[in-house]
Amino acid sequence: MKYNLNIKTKDIILFCWKVIKFIFSAPLLVTNKIAKQLETEELPTGIAGFLKRKAFSAEKLKGIGWGLEVAWIILLLAFVFSGNGSQPTQTTEQRTQSTITTSENKNEDNNIATSVNKINGDLVKVVRVIDGDTIEIEGGEHVRYIGIDTPETVDPRKPVQCFGVEASNKNKELIEGKMVRLEKDITDRDKYNRLLRYVYVSDTFINLELVKQGFAYSYSYPPDIKYQDQFVKAQQEARVAKRGLWNACPAQDQTVTPPDVPSQTETSAPQENSSNGSCLIKGNINSSGEKIYHLPGCGSYSKTQIDEARGEKWFCSESKAQSAGWRKALNCP
């Protein structure tokens, strides 16, 4: 293959070649020139005398020149292939921007850590009360109280239940706009992604206080049962003293159905409302551990759900229910 190069291009290539050749052969050219001048006695007398006293002959200078030439080529090649000559120097502006980015990343990490700490025990502000047992905290997280259940007010699938509005208002009075401390048990979140927590305002245990005053039922949902004994005891005292819902609500509304707050770790749904055909008596266990059976036609029969995982049962006769330790519901005819 032939290249048609004009004279100007050839001159440029030749000039570049000479420059490169000179750069790479500089040590050898210099030493050879000195050696030649030493042979022809063209060197200044002082320099010539010095070289002769040191026993530097022309041949020896040429040998030194070749050594310097090799060393020089190695240095040039090392410089070219190391890339040091082509690496740009970071400007002040770039260094400043890098520092700002690093600082922003650290601030973001600190904000995340702060948010996690607040969720796991530090003080956090309540921005809204959703109902009697659910709140919203700063940052938008929703928190469901552990171990208790209040009458429903906001679930679109259910009617507003007896004492639900009062429970919600009491929760607002106790907690809305205040700084609270959250305590985790075992499960972190429920299937609705709400945080499951015990809640404190100063030394007041809000979950327990709502049960004590008759605004909430005790309800156990394992494995989160750290304070369940306290809740059961508080409910028994509130019931005997007829506080809150225990005085205001009819007996049929005092049978607690499971709150809809299963954790994300559950592996199967509870077996509910599934009899074997002939056994229609529902053996329910309420929030205080009482075993109560409901016959078809009882006031709470239709809304009572049977969760066999909790020990609740279907019975074929009242005698079998009674012998197993269940009593008849008060709202049955």
Per residue, the 3-state secondary structure of 43-89, as one string, reads CCHHHHHHHHHCCCCHHHHHHHHHHHHHHHHHHHHHHHHHCCCCCCC
The answer to whether 211 and 231 are in contact (CB under 8 A) is: yes
- CA torsion through residues 55, 58, 62, 65, sign: positive
Q: Is 126 strand, coil or helix?
A: strand
- Which uninterrupted H or E stretch holds 217? strand 217-218
Residues 6+ apart with CB under 8 A from 41: 48
Instruction: Please tell me which residue in 144, 189, 197, 243 is annotated as part of the active site.
Output: 144
The one-letter code for the residue type at 57 is S
Residues 6+ apart with CB under 8 A from 253: 151, 161, 162, 245
How far apart are the C-alpha atoms of 197 and 235, rounded to whole Å? 19
The answer to whether 181 is a known catalytic residue is no
The answer to whether 176 is a known catalytic residue is no
Instruction: Please tell me which residue in 141, 166, 189, 194 is annotated as part of the active site.
Output: 194
In sequence order, the β-bridge partners of residue 224 are 221
Instruction: Please tell me which residue in 69, 152, 209, 312 is annotated as part of the active site.
Output: 152
Give, to the nearest 10 degrees, the angle between helix 7-39 and helix 58-82. 140
The answer to whether 194 is a known catalytic residue is yes
Active site residues: 144, 152, 194
